[in-house]
Structure 1
Amino acid sequence: MEKIFENKVAIVTGGSFGIGRATAVAFAKRGANVVIADWIEDEEQLTLKQIEAAGGNGFFVKCDVSKPGDITAVIDKAFSAYGRLDFAFNNAGIEGISAVTQECTQDNWERTIAINLTGVWLCMKHELSHMIRQGRGAIVNCASVAGLIGFAGLPAYVASKHGVIGLTKTAALETAKLGVRVNAVCPGVIRTAMIDRITGKDKVVEQQFVNMEPIGRFGEPEEVAEAVIWLCSDEASFVTGHAMPVDGGWIAA
């Protein structure tokens, strides 16, 4: 595989599992040094092991993206180790607790917004300042098909992901002439631990989700990762402010 990101540095939040892990490994395969940031460290350190197996370098930093100090610590450690920041995949997020709007608790609302939306804003706030000084960089935020359409029973999650898309577009406009591009990916139903929690691994419920996918199956984390890689690459040099569905045709139906 061509090392298109040789000597470049990427931060991946929510990098211990699922889409984050797949993207961290995809960056490493292209030659990037990868900083894995997550509030839960995978005890087996599978992300780091897969990065090393791909011939890459990286390290883990514990980070709660709702805490500004944690985010600045991640970026400081990235600069201490590698001296630069080229890419960021702001992926950390939670689904929250399912409930209709009138039954959504304030605690659930505030926690979901804090991680999914405020966390993305805080990450960009600190990432952008470094990238603008460099005159070059690419950020991809993880939104969702739930940022493009509504879903009953997930008011906080849907609101947070719509907010991520709006924030992405705003930052893209602000940095369009400064050498920095900002985009978002909007995954559909991807085979991750989050989907396992939502479905309870119930085969009937899983099939209901599959039936909503025109392509007829769940997506894989690696398929989202490849979209992130493309958006960060020079091949996407004229793409900014875009919310890219990676959804098997869900929102086209």
Structure 2
Amino acid sequence: MDKGLLTGKAVLVTGASSGIGAAAARVFAQEGAAVLLVARRQERLAALVDELRTEGARAEYVVADVTSREDAAMAVKSAVGTFGRLDGAFNNAGVGGDRTPLHQMDNETYDTIMDTNVRGVFNCLRAEIAAMLEHGGAIVNNSSVGGLVAIPTAAPYIASKHAVVGLTRAAADEYAQQGIRVNAVAPGTTRSEITTDWFARNPGLEDMVNSMTPQGRTAEPEEIAAAAAWLLSDRCPFLTGTVLPVDGGFVNQ
């Protein structure tokens, strides 16, 4: 492979079995990274790893649930054991949720969203930072434009993505002098399993959201992955604690 943004780096990707995570695995590998893919769906992970290896990439996978501290630590340990070190991580695993008025939201929905989107990122950050303390590294968390603005009838999701922004900024501040950069991407509407399902259950929603986006369209997952690759690379060494909207101008409205 030609030298790319991530050549020589070992990068972990969570939520790698579909959507933005799978796109990130492909983009990072194309940019020269050795990638460890983490998700719960083994068949999809195995198929993606086979695809990447066929294209000449170094790729492995681990089946893990990031809501478990032990699983998150195991995934990081596997990356270090396989590649010798961990240089970067894209904490992408997350869930959406039904559009429901806050006063009608049930506890199960709230707990599921917060457990995956917040605890999952927290678990991964703990393990990744510990693995990077000796040599530094870069971490990108996947938030959302929902982490920067309010969107009606999605209170737990909005709260969870605001929390990811908080975790990003806190970790960036705490570990800046240890050479660990922590940033986040905040995607706008992006084609994925979550959004496809969301749009199917809410007719007209995609058109409504796109009408609020200056570019007037839904992003492809590779566009988010490309932004994450840049944040993980050495091209932006003085950038940490930043939440980068990749949203077609949505938050400018």
TM-score interval w.r.t. the shorter chain? over 0.9
User: Any residues of structure 2 matched to 1:139-218 within 5 Å, and which?
Assistant: 139-200=139-200, 204-218=204-218
Matched, 1:121 2:105: no
8 Å contact kept, 1:25–1:50: no
Q: 1:28 to 1:80 in 2, by over 3 A?
A: same
In 2, Cα distance between equivalents of 1:4 and 1:185: 17
**Aligned counterpart, 1:252:** 252
- Indicate the larger mover: 53-62 or 103-112: 53-62
Q: Which amino acid aligns with 2:197?
A: R
In 2, Cα distance between equivalents of 1:150 and 1:210: 16
- Indicate the larger mover: 23-32 or 158-167: 23-32
8 Å contact kept, 1:17–1:47: no
TM-score (norm 1): 0.95
**Aligned counterpart, 1:137:** 137
8 Å contact kept, 1:8–1:31: yes
In 2, Cα distance between equivalents of 1:68 and 1:176: 24
Give SS of 1:133's match.
Answer: coil
Q: CA deviation at 1:76?
A: 1.5
**Aligned counterpart, 2:93:** 92
In 2, Cα distance between equivalents of 1:44 and 1:137: 25
- Indicate the larger mover: 21-30 or 52-61: 52-61
In 1, Cα distance between equivalents of 2:45 and 2:15: 16
Residue by residue, what CA displacement relative to the aligned partner does 1:123-149 show, whole Å, maximum 9, x if unpaired? Answer: 001100111122x10000000000000
Any unmatched runs of 5+ in structure 2?
none
What is the RMSD of the two structures over their aligned residues, measured on CA atoms? 1.6
8 Å contact kept, 1:145–1:251: yes
Q: CA deviation at 1:26?
A: 1.2
8 Å contact kept, 1:145–1:186: yes
Any unmatched runs of 5+ in structure 1?
none
Q: CA deviation at 1:45?
A: 3.9
Q: CA deviation at 1:80?
A: 1.7
Matched, 1:24 2:12: no
Q: Which amino acid aligns with 2:115?
A: A
Q: 1:205 to 1:87 in 2, by over 3 A?
A: same
In 2, Cα distance between equivalents of 1:90 and 1:43: 18
User: Any residues of structure 2 matched to 1:73-92 within 5 Å, and which?
Assistant: 73-92=74-93
Q: CA deviation at 1:202?
A: 6.8
Q: CA deviation at 1:201?
A: 7.2
Equivalences, count: 252
- Indicate the larger mover: 170-179 or 203-212: 203-212
- Indicate the larger mover: 76-85 or 41-50: 41-50
Q: CA deviation at 1:98?
A: 2.5
Q: Which amino acid aligns with 1:140?
A: V
Give SS of 2:191's match.
Answer: coil
TM-score (norm 2): 0.95
Matched, 1:225 2:225: yes
8 Å contact kept, 2:39–2:45: no
Q: CA deviation at 1:73?
A: 1.2
In 1, Cα distance between equivalents of 2:44 and 2:11: 22
In 2, Cα distance between equivalents of 1:244 and 1:159: 18
**What is the percent sequence identity of the aligned residues?**
37
8 Å contact kept, 1:28–1:54: no
